[in-house]
Structure 1
Amino acid sequence: MGGEQRRKELIALAYSIIAEKGFEGLRVRDVASRAGINGATLHYYFPTKEAMVQAVVEHLTEQFSTLREQNSELTDPLAMLRQEFADVTYRMEKFPELFIVAAELELRSLRDSSIAVILKEMYQAWQDYLAALLQNGVTQKVFRSDLDVQTTAIAITTLIRGLGSQLGSEKGDQISRIATQVEQWIMA
């Protein structure tokens, strides 16, 4: 197995352990054991636990952005915003572990500044994407001219993040209702 493939395998194992046991259950030796390697080999790929967590967050970021990249042909700001909500609904239904891992890392970030920095970058990229989308909608006169795009982007991500940490099977319906409400707030 090549080095990059092995690294991806180790990241996936760490990710799955966080999804199963929470951040507190993530042990470097457990990742090594599941991978069938020793600790020294694992440290070749990740010299510290923080480096492994950074890789898990990068993996999480990649998973969240994958659908957006697949829908890059969309140019209409309202259609793009609707697609963002549809993508979140899809992820919550098909990949609930994304939200479990994100929530675990968010909780840990309250006590660990290194994780807080990593997550802040991830959420900032999402907010920047939404702010640009919203600004494009304002420029095209699709969204209100007085819309505070930065605050609205923060509000949208906060709503979705909060919903992601709730239990229940009705999340898709809740996201749909939130999307409708957001449209009412921002439409010209």
Structure 2
Amino acid sequence: MPSHDQKQSYIRKDGRRAMIAEAARALILEHGYAALRTRDVAARVGINISTLHFHVPSKAALVALIAETTRDNFLARLPPPPDAERPAGAQLRAEAQAYHDSLRDRPELAACLAQLRQIGGTVPDVAAMIDSFTDDWLRRYAEIITIGQQQGAFRSDLTPLPAALAITGALTAFGARGPHGLEMFWPVFNELERGFLVAPGPEDEQR
């Protein structure tokens, strides 16, 4: 069983890796992935290059760490999984709210994902990780849309996966705009949501 000192060592190591990932994401946001240098990451964290290489021995390892922690940060911000017992409309809006708030509060996450997608062809493991995360996120929307159809809230003629791709594609376009370019986020979401809703019948219109 690890000693108290060993546990503290593990905590310090994990904490240092988190600091390295945060510094790398900030630098990507400021200068782009192409300008990312391990020595700049070390300087931002306040460690020497040897210490950095102890935690991430290569730039490829640094990229993998960035991808892993970026994914985990996004996952931590998601609302509870889709649930057939809860109103689908509220769940759909909660998903959009979580993404909106990540763009507002943690813009480096979306910036990193965009950069990582661009280099995916040269780093297959990272590409697979990002693709898996993106597919899972897309399926969450598709499942919510299916639940909404079952509840009679969303149009029955919607095809869930293409509908989910339409909404995620539209909203992820705001990732490149940064935290100050979100003015149209909710108007766009509202229009997409309106297209999903069951049209009111004559009796509803008369109320």
Whether the TM-score (by the shorter chain) exceeds 0.5 is yes
Kindly indicate whether residue 127 of structure 2 is the aligned counterpart of residue 116 of structure 1. Answer: yes
May I ask how many residue pairs the two structures share in their alignment?
Answer: 187
Aligned CA distance change for structure 1 residues 137 and 72 (closer, same or farther; 3 Å): closer
Q: Deviations over 1:1-34 (max 9, x none)?
A: 7111111111111111111111012112222233
Q: Deviations over 1:60-80 (max 9, x none)?
A: 223323332479899221101
Counterpart of 1:81, as a letter, is L
Aligned CA distance change for structure 1 residues 61 and 168 (closer, same or farther; 3 Å): closer
Q: Residue 147 of structure 2 is aligned with which of 123, 126, 136?
A: 136
Counterpart of 2:67, as a letter, is V
User: What is the RMSD of the two structures over their aligned residues, measured on CA atoms?
Assistant: 2.8
Kindly indicate whether residue 13 of structure 2 is the aligned counterpart of residue 3 of structure 1. Answer: yes
Q: Could you tell me the percent identity over the aligned residues?
A: 27
Is the 1:77–1:133 contact (alpha carbons within 8 Å) kept by the matching residues of 2? yes
Query: What SS does structure 1 have at the residue aligned with 2:177?
Result: coil
Kindly indicate whether residue 98 of structure 2 is the aligned counterpart of residue 125 of structure 1. Answer: no
Which residue does the alignment assign to 1:57? 67
Kindly indicate whether residue 33 of structure 2 is the aligned counterpart of residue 27 of structure 1. Answer: no
TM-score, scaled relative to structure 2: 0.76
Which residue does the alignment assign to 2:204? none
1:59-78 alignment, distance < 5 Å = 59-69=69-79, 75-78=86-89
Kindly indicate whether residue 103 of structure 2 is the aligned counterpart of residue 92 of structure 1. Answer: yes
**What is the distance in 2 between the residues matched to 1:170 and 1:17?**
20
Most deviating of 152-161 and 35-44 = 35-44
Query: What SS does structure 2 have at the residue aligned with 1:165?
Result: helix
Is the 2:82–2:140 contact (alpha carbons within 8 Å) kept by the matching residues of 1? no
- Structure 1 residues without counterparts, runs of 5 or longer: none
Q: Deviations over 1:126-174 (max 9, x none)?
A: 11221222222222222122221111122222111112213684523x2
Aligned CA distance change for structure 1 residues 5 and 112 (closer, same or farther; 3 Å): closer
Please say which structure displays the higher CA radius of gyration.
2
